[in-house]
Amino acid sequence: MSPQGQLEQGLRVLGLELPARAQAKLLDYTLLLEKWNRTYRLTALHESSLAVSHHLLDSLAVLPFVRGESLLDVGSGGGMPGIPLAIARPELRVVLVDSNSKKTAFLQQAAIELGLANIAVHCGRIEKYRPAVSFAAVTARAFADLAELVQLTDHLLHANGDWLAMKGVYPHGEIARLPAELVVDGVHRLEVPGVIGERHLVVIGRGTGRR
Protein backbone atom coordinates (compact mmCIF):
# COMPACT_ATOMS: atom_id res chain seq x y z
CA MET A 1 0.00 0.00 0.00
CA SER A 2 1.23 3.51 -0.82
CA PRO A 3 2.04 5.97 1.98
CA GLN A 4 -1.02 7.97 0.95
CA GLY A 5 -3.18 4.85 1.22
CA GLN A 6 -1.67 3.98 4.60
CA LEU A 7 -2.40 7.47 5.89
CA GLU A 8 -5.96 7.57 4.62
CA GLN A 9 -6.72 4.13 6.05
CA GLY A 10 -5.06 4.95 9.36
CA LEU A 11 -6.99 8.19 9.74
CA ARG A 12 -10.25 6.31 9.19
CA VAL A 13 -9.34 3.79 11.88
CA LEU A 14 -8.45 6.61 14.29
CA GLY A 15 -11.70 8.39 13.47
CA LEU A 16 -9.90 11.52 12.26
CA GLU A 17 -10.73 13.67 9.27
CA LEU A 18 -8.01 15.84 7.75
CA PRO A 19 -8.16 17.85 4.53
CA ALA A 20 -6.10 16.76 1.55
CA ARG A 21 -3.71 19.69 2.04
CA ALA A 22 -2.91 18.56 5.59
CA GLN A 23 -2.43 14.96 4.49
CA ALA A 24 -0.01 16.08 1.78
CA LYS A 25 2.01 18.08 4.33
CA LEU A 26 2.15 15.08 6.65
CA LEU A 27 3.59 12.93 3.88
CA ASP A 28 6.04 15.68 2.88
CA TYR A 29 7.17 15.77 6.50
CA THR A 30 8.06 12.07 6.44
CA LEU A 31 10.16 12.65 3.31
CA LEU A 32 12.04 15.49 5.00
CA LEU A 33 12.59 13.34 8.06
CA GLU A 34 13.95 10.49 5.95
CA LYS A 35 16.27 12.84 4.05
CA TRP A 36 17.73 14.47 7.16
CA ASN A 37 17.93 11.17 9.02
CA ARG A 38 20.60 10.00 6.60
CA THR A 39 22.96 12.60 8.07
CA TYR A 40 21.57 13.33 11.54
CA ARG A 41 20.19 10.71 13.88
CA LEU A 42 16.75 12.26 14.31
CA THR A 43 14.95 8.99 14.97
CA ALA A 44 15.93 5.37 15.53
CA LEU A 45 13.42 4.26 12.89
CA HIS A 46 15.10 3.71 9.53
CA GLU A 47 12.37 1.77 7.69
CA SER A 48 10.62 4.27 5.42
CA SER A 49 7.67 1.88 5.11
CA LEU A 50 6.93 2.41 8.82
CA ALA A 51 7.04 6.22 8.76
CA VAL A 52 3.28 6.67 8.34
CA SER A 53 2.35 4.32 11.16
CA HIS A 54 5.15 5.00 13.65
CA HIS A 55 5.58 8.75 13.09
CA LEU A 56 2.33 10.17 11.72
CA LEU A 57 -0.42 7.95 13.09
CA ASP A 58 1.33 7.41 16.42
CA SER A 59 1.45 11.19 16.87
CA LEU A 60 -2.05 11.88 15.57
CA ALA A 61 -3.56 9.35 17.98
CA VAL A 62 -3.01 12.02 20.65
CA LEU A 63 -5.02 14.66 18.76
CA PRO A 64 -8.41 14.03 20.43
CA PHE A 65 -6.84 14.77 23.83
CA VAL A 66 -5.28 18.13 22.89
CA ARG A 67 -7.28 20.98 24.45
CA GLY A 68 -6.65 24.69 24.31
CA GLU A 69 -4.75 26.87 21.87
CA SER A 70 -1.11 26.14 22.67
CA LEU A 71 1.14 23.11 23.01
CA LEU A 72 4.74 22.58 24.06
CA ASP A 73 6.50 19.47 22.70
CA VAL A 74 9.37 18.57 25.04
CA GLY A 75 12.40 16.70 23.72
CA SER A 76 10.83 16.94 20.28
CA GLY A 77 13.72 15.22 18.47
CA GLY A 78 12.50 14.68 14.93
CA GLY A 79 9.29 16.56 15.65
CA MET A 80 6.94 13.93 17.11
CA PRO A 81 4.23 14.48 18.09
CA GLY A 82 4.48 18.26 17.69
CA ILE A 83 4.78 18.61 13.91
CA PRO A 84 1.94 16.20 12.98
CA LEU A 85 -0.29 17.89 15.57
CA ALA A 86 0.60 21.34 14.21
CA ILE A 87 -0.27 20.21 10.69
CA ALA A 88 -3.56 18.69 11.82
CA ARG A 89 -4.53 21.81 13.81
CA PRO A 90 -3.14 24.91 12.08
CA GLU A 91 -4.80 27.15 14.70
CA LEU A 92 -2.77 25.48 17.46
CA ARG A 93 0.35 27.38 18.60
CA VAL A 94 3.11 24.77 18.90
CA VAL A 95 6.61 25.19 20.33
CA LEU A 96 9.15 22.42 19.77
CA VAL A 97 11.99 22.22 22.29
CA ASP A 98 15.13 20.09 22.13
CA SER A 99 18.63 20.53 23.54
CA ASN A 100 20.31 19.07 20.43
CA SER A 101 21.17 21.85 17.96
CA LYS A 102 21.22 19.50 14.95
CA LYS A 103 17.71 18.34 15.74
CA THR A 104 16.41 21.86 16.24
CA ALA A 105 18.03 22.88 12.93
CA PHE A 106 15.94 20.18 11.27
CA LEU A 107 12.80 21.25 13.13
CA GLN A 108 13.28 24.86 12.03
CA GLN A 109 13.88 23.83 8.42
CA ALA A 110 10.87 21.52 8.42
CA ALA A 111 8.62 24.31 9.71
CA ILE A 112 9.88 26.60 6.93
CA GLU A 113 9.62 24.06 4.10
CA LEU A 114 6.18 22.87 5.18
CA GLY A 115 4.91 26.41 5.65
CA LEU A 116 3.98 25.87 9.31
CA ALA A 117 3.59 29.40 10.63
CA ASN A 118 2.10 28.05 13.88
CA ILE A 119 5.40 26.40 14.90
CA ALA A 120 8.30 27.92 16.83
CA VAL A 121 11.51 26.11 17.75
CA HIS A 122 13.71 26.53 20.81
CA CYS A 123 17.12 24.94 21.36
CA GLY A 124 18.06 24.44 25.00
CA ARG A 125 17.36 22.54 28.18
CA ILE A 126 13.69 22.54 29.06
CA GLU A 127 14.18 23.48 32.72
CA LYS A 128 15.90 26.70 31.61
CA TYR A 129 13.25 27.65 29.06
CA ARG A 130 11.38 30.75 30.22
CA PRO A 131 8.86 31.89 27.60
CA ALA A 132 6.60 34.90 28.14
CA VAL A 133 3.46 32.75 28.25
CA SER A 134 2.64 29.26 29.50
CA PHE A 135 0.97 26.44 27.57
CA ALA A 136 -2.38 24.67 27.60
CA ALA A 137 -0.68 21.32 27.03
CA VAL A 138 2.78 19.82 27.40
CA THR A 139 3.52 16.71 25.33
CA ALA A 140 6.43 14.31 25.51
CA ARG A 141 7.20 11.11 23.65
CA ALA A 142 9.72 8.81 25.35
CA PHE A 143 11.32 11.83 27.02
CA ALA A 144 11.53 11.04 30.73
CA ASP A 145 9.92 9.41 33.74
CA LEU A 146 6.53 11.02 34.47
CA ALA A 147 7.67 12.59 37.75
CA GLU A 148 10.76 14.05 36.07
CA LEU A 149 8.69 15.38 33.16
CA VAL A 150 6.35 17.16 35.56
CA GLN A 151 9.20 18.55 37.63
CA LEU A 152 11.08 19.92 34.62
CA THR A 153 8.05 21.51 32.95
CA ASP A 154 5.82 22.58 35.85
CA HIS A 155 6.62 26.26 35.24
CA LEU A 156 5.51 25.97 31.60
CA LEU A 157 1.97 24.63 32.01
CA HIS A 158 -1.22 26.63 32.56
CA ALA A 159 -2.84 26.13 35.97
CA ASN A 160 -5.60 24.06 34.36
CA GLY A 161 -3.45 22.58 31.60
CA ASP A 162 -2.65 18.97 30.77
CA TRP A 163 0.53 16.96 30.58
CA LEU A 164 0.14 14.48 27.71
CA ALA A 165 2.81 11.82 28.15
CA MET A 166 3.15 9.17 25.45
CA LYS A 167 4.24 5.81 26.82
CA GLY A 168 4.52 2.20 25.68
CA VAL A 169 3.27 -0.29 28.26
CA TYR A 170 1.02 0.92 31.07
CA PRO A 171 3.42 2.87 33.37
CA HIS A 172 2.19 1.64 36.77
CA GLY A 173 5.44 2.41 38.58
CA GLU A 174 5.84 5.89 37.09
CA ILE A 175 2.27 6.83 38.01
CA ALA A 176 2.83 5.64 41.59
CA ARG A 177 5.83 7.97 41.89
CA LEU A 178 3.93 11.11 40.84
CA PRO A 179 3.50 13.83 43.49
CA ALA A 180 0.29 13.47 45.48
CA GLU A 181 -1.01 16.90 44.45
CA LEU A 182 -1.27 15.82 40.82
CA VAL A 183 -4.29 14.15 39.26
CA VAL A 184 -4.09 11.41 36.63
CA ASP A 185 -7.14 12.26 34.53
CA GLY A 186 -6.77 9.11 32.48
CA VAL A 187 -4.47 6.48 31.05
CA HIS A 188 -5.70 5.81 27.55
CA ARG A 189 -4.65 2.80 25.52
CA LEU A 190 -4.02 3.96 21.97
CA GLU A 191 -4.66 1.53 19.15
CA VAL A 192 -2.38 2.84 16.42
CA PRO A 193 -2.82 1.22 12.99
CA GLY A 194 0.37 -0.53 11.89
CA VAL A 195 2.10 -0.28 15.27
CA ILE A 196 2.79 -3.53 17.10
CA GLY A 197 3.03 -3.28 20.86
CA GLU A 198 1.26 -1.26 23.50
CA ARG A 199 0.79 2.49 23.35
CA HIS A 200 -0.64 4.53 26.22
CA LEU A 201 -1.29 8.21 26.74
CA VAL A 202 -1.13 9.44 30.33
CA VAL A 203 -3.11 12.65 30.92
CA ILE A 204 -2.03 14.48 34.08
CA GLY A 205 -3.31 17.68 35.67
CA ARG A 206 -2.94 19.62 38.87
CA GLY A 207 -5.32 18.91 41.73
CA THR A 208 -6.43 22.55 41.89
CA GLY A 209 -7.74 24.82 39.16
CA ARG A 210 -9.08 21.91 37.10
CA ARG A 211 -12.01 22.21 34.77
- Residue-wise pLDDT for 149-170, tens only, equals 999 999 999 999 999 999 999 9
CATH topology of domain 3-206: Rossmann fold (3.40.50)
Average pLDDT (71-94) is 97
Average pLDDT (166-181) is 95
pLDDT at 36: 86
* Half-sphere exposure in the Cβ direction for 37 (13 Å, CA): 17
CA dihedral 138, 142, 148, 150 (to 10 degrees): 20
Q: What's the one-letter identity of residue 189?
A: R
Mean pLDDT, the chain, rounded, equals 93
Confidence (pTM): 0.94
Q: What's the one-letter identity of residue 104?
A: T
Average pLDDT (10-27) is 97
Number of C-beta neighbours around residue 4 at 10 A: 14
